[in-house]
Amino acid sequence: MKYYDIEGNYFEKNTSQDDFLVKLYETFLGKIALKVLVSPVVSEVGGWFLKTPLSKVMIKPFIKKNNIDMSRYESRKFKSYNDFFTRKIKDGEVEFDDNEKVLISPADGKVSCYELDKNAVFEIKGGKYSLKSLLKCCNLAEKFQGGYAFVIRLTVDDYHRYCYACDGEKSADRHINGVYHTVNPIAFSHCKVFKENTREYCVISNSVFGEVIQMEVGATMVGRISNNHNGRCEVKKGDEKGMFEFGGSTIVVFVKKDAVKRPETLLCRTREGAETIIKQGMALGVKE
C-alpha cells in the first residue's frame, strides 16, 4: 500500500490484514468465503458479539498493537469492545479550520480524490462509479458533473466518530441497503464497493460551496452507520455528525464543479495509487 503522511512524505506499508484480503479476494476458496463474509447477517452477528462484555478482552491488545494514545480520549470504563471502538475524544483535542472558505475532512483517515466527468462518473482501480447509481437520484447527480469526490477511508485504528464538513442546512438522510465489502483498495479491483455497500448520505446547502454531499459507507463488520440528525436541520462545521460501529469504513464528500480550487496534489497522488493520511478538521478543499 502506498501513502503520503501529513507532512507530505511518501512511504509504503503492507499489513497482515492487507495480505489476508488479497487471499480473500484473489483466490478461489477466498471468493467462496467472501460471499458469506460480506452479508449483512454476518456483520450483524459479529456486531452483536462485539457489544457483549466478553469482547472486552480484545481492547488492551488492540491498543498496544496500534499504539493508540488513550490520553486523548474521555476516561471511562468500557462495557464492550464496541463501546471502546466508538470512544469519544476529549473536547479541544481536535483542531478545526474555521475559515468559511475551507471544507474540512469530516474524519481521520486516508484520502483519495477523483474528478467527476460530464456524466458524473469517476473511476477507482479500473472500476467506474456513476453518482446516479450511488445516490439513486438522477437530478441530484447531474448537478455534480465536473466536480470532485473526496474518498476518506477509515481503518480500524482511526477515530470512528465523524463531523460535518461545512456549515449549512442539512437535508434528511437517505439510507440505501447493501452488503459489507471491505473498503480496502484491494477490493476495488474485484467489485464495485461503493455501489454495492450499505450507505447513507445527506446534502448540505452551504453559502460558499453550494450543495455538498456527505456520504457514509459501511464496510466489513460495520453493523450500523449511526447518524445523530436524521431530519432536515441547520448544522455547524466540526459538530459531530455520527459514528461507525466496529470495522473499517469510508466517508465520501462530493462537491460541484468550481466549488473548490482544483486539488492538484491530491489528484496527482491518487493517480499514483497513493492515499494521503488526513486528520479530522484539516482542510479537504478550499474555495478560491
pTM recorded for the entire structure: 0.85
pLDDT at residue 181, rounded to an integer: 46
Q: Is 249 a catalytic residue?
A: yes
Do 15 and 286 form a contact (C-beta atoms < 8 A)? no
Q: Is the pLDDT of residue 265 over 50?
A: yes
Q: Within 10 A of 162 (CB to CB), how many other CB atoms are there?
A: 26
Residue 74: pLDDT band with limits 50, 70, 90: very high
Q: Which three cell numbers stand for residue 255?
A: 462537491
* Position 128 confidence tier, pLDDT thresholds 50, 70, 90: confident
What are residue 177's phi and psi, to 5 degrees?
A: -70, 150
DSSP string computed for 100-154: TTEEEPSSSEEEEEEE--TTSEEEETTEEEEHHHHHT-HHHHHTTTT-EEEEEEE
- Residue 101 above 90 pLDDT? yes
Stretch 29-55: mean pLDDT: 67
Residue 182 has pLDDT above 50, yes or no: no
Please state, in angstroms and rounded to a whole number, the distance separating the CA atoms of residues 85 and 177: 23
Q: Out of 25-29, 92-96, 209-213, 278-282, which region has the weakest mean confidence (pLDDT)?
A: 25-29
Q: Which of 55, 80, 105, 108 is flagged as catalytic?
A: 108
Among residues 80, 105, 112, 249, the one annotated as catalytic is 249
108 among known catalytic residues: yes
